[in-house]
Structure 1
């Protein structure tokens, strides 16, 4: 029923924003890496997707949002390598209100059917939320608790390091503890629900959450509805709000 409602609403979104992404509230720090990268279940050697969008409003108010996202994963018998990136810009009445760029990479090596090692690194520039740049690198151990076809659940944890360059000046480098959980529920042949959580913990702890529904339209396109939340216990002084959220509806093209 959920999938059918989403598909019935697709033409309305397509008329409003075409192959675009529609955002509500402020942009969240979506540094979660939620791409499924288990080489033991991969059906092909490469999987990737691209999301790109633009929306604009004129009249009594003038607003625009431009976005682009991509994720690419290469599979080998026991190893997977992933790259991902995103860019978002928003303006209101000809004044920039948000500007955010992210790049990241990840590798996973399966020790057995249920156990794996991982390493990942990411870079973020989000000056409207206080960060001129933020770099995070983590590595550690993961366990595949459930491995489909209906339910998929994995947990991973390990040490890491984080380097922050603040918009108002200054920088800081600290060790951290990383933990993440990703759960997928295959609702039907065409619809999948995902809930992902991650924690970057030290004296300043960042919690990330993504709740998403992905509905396949055909082999190449899918509709994704997602709600992202980031909670930072000690945000930069230039962006004191602790909670940052994003609601998105996007059209995804599978490479």
Structure 2
């Protein structure tokens, strides 16, 4: 959900109620308040005025007038800054306002293959006023003595449109490839509605659900297409300024032709990813994650459950 962020106001912002107009206030007190206002630090201004009230009880009315004038100008400056930021977002080009994360490290897999190898990931996000666009890609690869023992690729594009502060519409286009799970390609498209259950500075929880359509191309040359239902859950908890716990769930339940009877589904795919991020610097984080990938009806010769443990470094850009 897009939120307008305010920065400290510049010292050049002028007050409509200058402190110099209040001659009864001692000059040293006026100078401290003027210096706090010039710093652009709202908390400092309020602290200085509170202290001035305690040390100059006879001048409380004058100090309240200063604070009132400051708050009036502060509100006007914030509104102007928000309007300018919104205009910049609305006028931004297609390739502007993207943020991203690059990830590189190692993995340990069990299930259809048991090995260790290299993992790499990329995520890009573009947040607008009403729209949010997310691009995700990941690759796990391992090769020993000229033989590939792990080869998994994943890519997705998800646009979201905000209907309100908490309700949004989503779309999803997804591609997967994992020969060791028995398919050379799996495509899925979905669209539906989502809800921001919790939206706090240190805790976010959202859920989405909707119909889907999935095409699977198996390694033996056969393929199948099915109507499905998609459920997604996204959880982020900033435990401290440098430590974050994340959990993502994506489940796609296929049916024989109807997206309404999930209980009688032909094949349910479940992907659970839990991770712990530790910030090393403003741009670099270390991440430990554990993923469970489950297919209720895998191809002949494949097992239902794979697990992936990853240790990676993440760079924000």
Q: Please tell me the TM-score bracket, short chain as reference.
A: 0.7 to 0.9
Seen in structure 2, the aligned counterparts of structure 1 residues 54 and 195 have a Cα distance that, compared at 3 Å, is closer
User: Among 267, 274, 289, which residue is 1:226 paired with?
Assistant: 289
Seen in structure 2, the aligned counterparts of structure 1 residues 130 and 110 have a Cα distance that, compared at 3 Å, is same
- Give runs of aligned pairs for residues 133-172 of structure 1, distance below 5 A: 133-172=185-224
Query: Scaled by the length of structure 2, what TM-score is found?
Result: 0.63
Note the aligned Cα RMSD (angstroms).
2.0
Do residues 251 (structure 1) and 301 (structure 2) align?
Answer: no
- Give runs of aligned pairs for residues 203-242 of structure 1, distance below 5 A: 203-239=266-302, 241-242=303-304
Query: Which has the higher relative contact order, 1 or 2, with Cα contacts under 8 A spaced 6 or more apart?
Result: 1
CA offset at residue 115 of structure 1?
0.3
Tell me the equivalent position of 1:39.
2
CA offset at residue 42 of structure 1?
7.9
Which secondary structure does the structure 1 equivalent of 2:173 belong to? strand
Consecutive unaligned residues in structure 1, runs of 5 or more: 1-37, 56-62
CA offset at residue 64 of structure 1?
6.7
Query: Scaled by the length of structure 1, what TM-score is found?
Result: 0.77
CA offset at residue 196 of structure 1?
1.8
Higher-Rg member (1/2): 2
Across the two proteins, how many residue pairs are aligned to each other?
Answer: 210
CA offset at residue 84 of structure 1?
1.5
Tell me the equivalent position of 1:7.
none
Which secondary structure does the structure 2 equivalent of 1:128 belong to? helix
CA offset at residue 238 of structure 1?
3.7
Tell me the equivalent position of 2:54.
none
Aligned counterparts of 1:228 and 1:206: Cα–Cα separation in 2: 13
Consecutive unaligned residues in structure 2, runs of 5 or more: 7-88, 90-96, 108-114, 255-265
Do residues 127 (structure 1) and 189 (structure 2) align?
Answer: no
Seen in structure 2, the aligned counterparts of structure 1 residues 53 and 140 have a Cα distance that, compared at 3 Å, is same
Which is richer in strand?
Answer: 1
Aligned counterparts of 2:155 and 2:182: Cα–Cα separation in 1: 18
Aligned counterparts of 1:64 and 1:207: Cα–Cα separation in 2: 22
